[in-house]
Amino acid sequence: MSYEQPINQSPIGGLENIRKADEPCTIVIFGASGDLTSRKLIPALYHLYLDGQMPDSFRVVGFARRDKTDESWRMEMRESLAVHSRTKSVDDAKWDDFAKNLSYHKGDLTDSDAYTRLADRLQVYQNESLKNNLVFYLAISPSLFGDVVDYLHDAQLLKRWEEGDEFWQRVVVEKPFGHDLQSASLLNNHLLRHARERQIFRIDHYLGKETVQNIMMFRFSNAIFEQLWNRETIEHVQITVGETVGVGGRGGYFEEAGTIRDMMQNHLLQILSLVAMEPPPSLAAEDVRGEKVKALKSIRAMTPEDVAERVVRGQYFAGTVNGESRMGYRQEEKVDPESNVETYVALKLFVDNWRWSGVPFYLRTGKNLPMRASEVRVQFRPTPNVLFAAQGDLDLLPNALTLRLQPDEGISLRFNGKVPGNSITSRPVRMHFGYDSEFGAYTPEAYERLLLEAMAGDATLFIRRDEVETAWRIVDDIRAAWGDQPLTNREFYAAGSWGPMAAEELLANDGYVWHNPQPAE
């Protein structure tokens, strides 16, 4: 299967220094009354405007069914920005200039006339690019993705891009993208009826995080690490994404999704692909995404017996997280009191290629854990224990490299050092790089980068069709092996702990222990 190059692609993908989206365009946000729009999308667009990265001419149209005026929607967005802005305060003059570009379009997502009226509304713009260069952001239920694209096509707002076309349209879709391989494939086919693959931008906000992007820079621009990045020197890799929150008001959704669909299928497998991928021939979007897909396709398939040995699920019961009492999952709103849905997943994967043959990758994620943190832990093989054996019980630990993705973004290297004195005593020491201390600058919000790249037409940080479907294939095998099996006592964990006993045993069976993220010193 071949994939076309994205339109107006930057030669250095999504990893370059701050740039500007140059072409005038209109961004239509479907779901303008939703939480994502007010908390993330409008603040991200405002900050891009504040930093001079928006096109010189742009418009933002909010599409939702509630009865609002342009002015009332602007006021709502301004109030939300006061809470969610990454700046200490909102510059009223800058906001007023930015808000002039915001307008609200009332319409039901399933009403074809609403799209016709939207098309008429866009034709009022004097600038031809504002009429025709369109980014459609679907911040709506995934069940409506296909319908909205159909209506956009029928209203002649979305057209299949052809070589030589003067204008372009792009569709940005939020996760979850399907709930299994079959539904994801059907949704892909539906979207591609009216748009090319290069026009579909499947978003995973984790890929917009500065430190996730830095994985490639760290690996491929530093010879001292790239030469060690293989089975000869690395013993195993751990990827942890911990959340301190429970399911809250999302019990109904979680009963359908579970953690393996909600987090593992997208965030964690995306991080793994960046850690494990081969160097791409360039930083062009399709070269980068092609190598990520190769890494995912190299993951060893699991039989039901493999799943029983290498995958752990868990579910939290009542406990305390950072001094706050939490109810058990089965007591949450809209949750079956006998539910076997997992709120925690840990698994052991193998990437069967030349670089990683035999190296286990341990991935885990869960809710109501002690700390909100995402990190990659690379543990190197220990040195032969011969030179210092006669010195007794020295504290010689294997070297380890930790890439902290959130919070306190940075990179740490652990190695052994001699304690000053007349005796030979060792102690693990750490070299640490922190973004804040080194650069003295903010880490941009993920949605700022992703919206900028969508406007620029650079798909590097977005997920390609075969990436989505390959990840679902891995998850589907696991879910099929679980079937209707009930949870066992070894798979429950107290809220505020790092997971069930079965997860500890998963690593203990190989002679390892989980590295639990620690707060910054």
Q: How far does CA 249 lie from the centroid of its chain?
A: 21
Return all residues near 239 (Cβ < 8 A) that are at least 6 apart: 268, 271, 272, 275, 361, 362, 363, 364, 375, 376, 377
Q: Residue 519's Cα: distance from chain center in Å? A: 22
Of 47, 179, 267, 432, the catalytic one is 267
Say how many CA atoms lie within 13 Å of 258 toward its Cβ.
Answer: 21
Task: Reply yes or no on whether 267 is catalytic.
Answer: yes
Task: Report the alpha-carbon angle 18-24-27, nearest 5.
Answer: 90
Question: Do residues 285 and 13 lie in contact, with contact meaning Cβ atoms separated by under 8 Å?
Answer: yes
- How many angstroms separate the CA atoms of 279 and 81, rounded? 40
Question: Given its phi and psi angles, is residue 12 left (phi above 0), alpha (psi -120 to 50 degrees) or beta?
Answer: alpha
Beta strands in 174-293 (DSSP E): 200-202, 234-242
Burial 439-464 (b: 16+ CB within 10 A, else e): eeeebbbbbbbbbbbbbbbbbbbbbb
Question: Taking Cα atoms as reference points, which of 42, 57, 36 lies closest to residue 138?
Answer: 36
What lies within 8 Å, CB to CB, of 495 at 6+ separation is 246, 316, 317, 318, 319, 320, 321, 326, 328, 368
Task: Decide the pairing of beta strands 200-202 and 234-242.
Answer: unpaired
Give residues with Cβ within 8 angstroms of 74, minimum separation 6. 99, 102
Is residue 329 within 8 A of residue 343, CB to CB? The reply is yes
Distance CA 443, CA 18 (A): 12
Q: Kindly give, in sequence order, each residue whose CB lies less than 8 Å from that of residue 176, ignoring residues fewer than 6 positions away.
A: 142, 257, 261, 262, 265, 266
Structure tokens at 300: 């060893």
3-state secondary structure of 136: strand
325-362: burial string, b at 16+ Cβ within 10 Å, e else = ebbbbbebeebeeebebbbbbbbbbbbeeebbeebbbb
Q: Residue 499 — left, alpha, or beta (φ > 0 → left; ψ -120 to 50 → alpha)?
A: left
- What contacts 24+ positions apart, CB below 8 Å, involve 421-424? 424/388, 424/391, 424/394
509 burial type by CB count under 10 A (0-12 exposed, 13-18 middle, 19+ buried): exposed
* Active site positions, annotated: 267
